[in-house]
Amino acid sequence: MKILVNCPLPFALAHGGHQIQIQRTLAALQAVGVQTEPVRWWDENQTGDLIHYFGRMPVGHVKLAQQKGIKVIVGELLTEQGSRSNLQLRLQKIISNTIERFAPSNFVFAFNWESYRIADACIALTPWEAHLMNCLFDAPRERVHVVANGVEDVFLHSSKAVRGQWLVCAATITERKRVRELAEAAIRAQTPVWIVGGAYSESEPYAQKFSALARRHPQFVRHEGPVPDRAQLAQIYREARGFVLLSNMESLSLSALEAAACECPLLLSDLPWARSTFGNAAKYCPVTKSLEVTTKVLREFYDAAPKLPVPPKPASWNEIGRQLKQIYEKVLGLSR
């Protein structure tokens, strides 16, 4: 069994959770004995039994692979769709059905919705995303599998530490993650927060405004950029009073899983991915433009954090590798 891994976005253009997910998945599969390598687009002689595509694989590519006897698994992050309201989702489905019924076929083809229907399997990170793959894109239920992200051992086996006064947020400095809004609420609530992460580009206006805010209020907003040392990051989680992530869109946050592995209390945006992953083991903040609401929730979380229950331990990457291996074997019809 040989697995080829592919994704549409070059890592050099946008570092983030998707890159980490793919890199850790590759390592996990190799650790459990699966022969795995990235697709080499320039190598006409490359062979493989199955392509695991981290994204929405173009319909034409899916069909070409299947014509060559190569199975295809689609694993798109439904970040935007997964953060919409039920009304918005119903409207999206009506619009897509209308387009498929009345629009020219070459126009419909560009959306690649058919990929979900003809792929040999689909991988969803959460039960909510599995539901969306079926109801929005008509992926057959029996072909949709839920496999969450894993967590590295450095977080799962980190040592307990005395928790301090700083909340921590590990996120890219970008509008979707709402770190500037978190910083503004922290200043007003007088709840110190440490933002761990960098911007895609320091020239982005959003990143510049956040940096200026942090410089003006160092007693409440700490920002020293990303922390590449994973052991150091685990120690930060262990010593934090709590972990906060107030994104307005998310799929399954790796940093939230890492914080949970370090037994850090969680405050997350009230979105389906978070509810379906952590349930009552986390606190939630509505996604709102109201600074007053966010400030109130943040202050309440800060005060309650020392007495909050420990989140459940997430799976290790090796466990995720074994789950994926079983799915690959099933799709390829291999006997165990």
283-296 per-position pLDDT tens digit: 999 999 999 999 99
The pLDDT of residue 243 is 98
Mean pLDDT computed over 24-39? 95
The pLDDT of residue 171 is 93
The pLDDT of residue 63 is 96
The pLDDT of residue 153 is 95
The pLDDT of residue 105 is 86
pLDDT of residue 13 exceeding 90, the answer is: no
Query: Are 2-150+317-332 and 153-307 equal in CATH topology?
Result: yes
For 157-213, the pLDDT digits (tens) are 999 999 999 999 999 999 999 999 999 999 999 999 999 999 888 888 999 999 999
The pLDDT of residue 17 is 76
The pLDDT of residue 69 is 95
Query: What percentage of the chain reaches a pLDDT higher than 70?
Result: 99
Classify residue 255 as exposed, middle or buried by CB count within 10 Å of its CB (0-12, 13-18, 19+). buried
pLDDT of residue 222 exceeding 90, the answer is: yes
For 57-102, the pLDDT digits (tens) are 999 999 999 999 999 999 999 989 988 889 999 999 999 999 999 8
pTM of the predicted structure, to 2 decimals: 0.90
Among residues 36, 49, 38, 54, the alpha carbon closest in space to that of 115 is found at 54
Quote the mean pLDDT of the chain. Answer: 93
| CATH label, 2-150+317-332, candidates 1.10.3720.10, 3.40.50.2000, 3.40.50.300, 3.40.50.2300 | 3.40.50.2000
Greater confidence, 249 or 12?
249
The pLDDT of residue 131 is 95
Structural element, H or E, at residue 299 = helix 291-304
Count the Cβ atoms, other than its own, within 10 Å of residue 292: 10
The pLDDT of residue 91 is 93
For 109-128, the pLDDT digits (tens) are 889 999 999 999 999 999 99
Please tell me the distance from the alpha carbon of residue 297 to that of residue 242, in angstroms, as a whole number: 13
User: Helices 86-102 and 127-137, interaxial angle, to 10°?
Assistant: 30
| CATH label, 153-307, candidates 3.40.640.10, 3.30.230.10, 3.40.50.1480, 3.40.50.2000 | 3.40.50.2000
Count the Cβ atoms, other than its own, within 10 Å of residue 218: 10
For 166-175, the pLDDT digits (tens) are 999 999 999 9
Mean pLDDT computed over 35-57? 95
Lowest mean pLDDT segment, chosen from 22-36, 94-108, 177-191, 266-280: 94-108
The pLDDT of residue 231 is 95
**Ranges of each domain in the chain:** 2-150+317-332, 153-307
Categorize the per-residue pLDDT at 336 as very low, low, confident or very high, splitting at 50, 70 and 90.
very low
What is the chain's length? 336
Greater confidence, 43 or 105?
43
The pLDDT of residue 106 is 87
pLDDT of residue 335 exceeding 60, the answer is: no
Please tell me the distance from the alpha carbon of residue 21 to that of residue 31, in angstroms, as a whole number: 15
Which sign, positive or negative, has the C-alpha torsion 115, 116, 118, 124? positive
